[in-house]
Structure 1
Amino acid sequence: MPGSQTLRQLKRSDFIYFLSYHTRWSDNDQYSHVNNSIYYHLFDSVVNTFLIECCGQNPQSSPLIGLVISSWCQFFAPLSFPDVLDLGLRVTKLGNSSVTYEIGVFREKEGHPSAVGGYTHVFVESQSRKSASMRKETREGLAKLVVEKAKL
């Protein structure tokens, strides 16, 4: 995970794929900002939408599934209902059976993220849960999101 100062300086252009999210009243906590746990729902939403739309993954029938083995999030500015968010996705490491994602959570029309987080998926056989190399279609889709080391 890069340092928080580096993450804070990221821009929209540092991310490749975007998904829009309209916050809900129930996303807010008692302090009237998006609850920390909701960020992980957002991360899952953008990653899995990309895997389904661009990598041929079907959560119910794909022979391989991605299991999260680590996750993290850095918060920079509060978000609150009724904010509209843009979830930016990129890949910082692509292996044979694993991938590390980074997600920028941007308030609509803002240039810098309110939060940045990520996690690592290890692909496993859906039945046995044994580690397996990614399918060609999955790897090719994820390769489109890989960022250069200079941007990390």
Structure 2
Amino acid sequence: MPNETPLKRRRTRSDYIFHQTYRTRWHDNDMYAHLNNTIYAQLFDSIINAYLISHCGMDPFSYGSPTPPKNDINPSGQVAIMVNSYCDYFASVSYPDILELGLRVNKLGSTSVTYEVGVFKQGEEEVKVVGGYTHVWCERGVMRPAKGGMERGIREALGRLLVNETSKI
């Protein structure tokens, strides 16, 4: 799509499948009395990894361990590497706001996934920020895209977040 910004600005909570709440902290604010830009990257990382851990079977504490993974979903030979990130700001938030985050997948390839996170202020319908990033699933030893694609269980779990944007145009 040539210009996705107007579409992003119209996002609602229902455009996102997985949700999480975040209570802002005093030190999240910057000198202009709104959330510092770096906090948004942390929010995106937190909700994405919460989904990977709770729904995709990822166990970040078992990587590099001599013990086998605790489940058959965890691709012990693969890691997800961030290759792109973005953030569009529509309105500011600040401490002591409570934020509601929404997560979806906009694109799912054989080795890559593009996530989108919407940031909403509790009790308000207008999206404040839309951002996210792209992961490429790589072979751990060589850090190159996984030859056989991402592991099936992870791909299926990420597929449950996939949203067809053309239905929103």
TM-score (ref. length: structure 2): 0.85
Q: Which runs of 5+ in 1 are unaligned?
A: none
Cα deviation 1:115-151 (Å, max 9, x = unaligned):
0011110011233212111111111110100001323
Matches of 1:126 and 1:27, distance apart in 2: 34
1:98 maps onto 2:96 in alignment: no
- % identical equivalent positions: 47
Matches of 1:13 and 1:147, distance apart in 2: 11
Alpha-carbon RMSD: 1.4
Q: CA deviation at 1:111?
A: 1.5
Q: CA deviation at 1:105?
A: 0.5
Q: Equivalences for 1:102-121 in 2 at 5 Å?
A: 102-121=116-135
Matches of 1:63 and 1:28, distance apart in 2: 39
Equivalent position of 1:70 in the other structure: 84
Equivalent position of 1:138 in the other structure: 154
Misfit runs of 4+, over 4 Å: none
Note if contact 1:123-1:131 (Cα within 8 Å) is conserved in structure 2. yes
Matches of 1:66 and 1:54, distance apart in 2: 15
Q: CA deviation at 1:81?
A: 0.6
Higher CA-based Rg:
2
TM-score (ref. length: structure 1): 0.94
Q: Which runs of 5+ in 2 are unaligned?
A: 64-75
Q: Which amino acid aligns with 1:83?
A: D
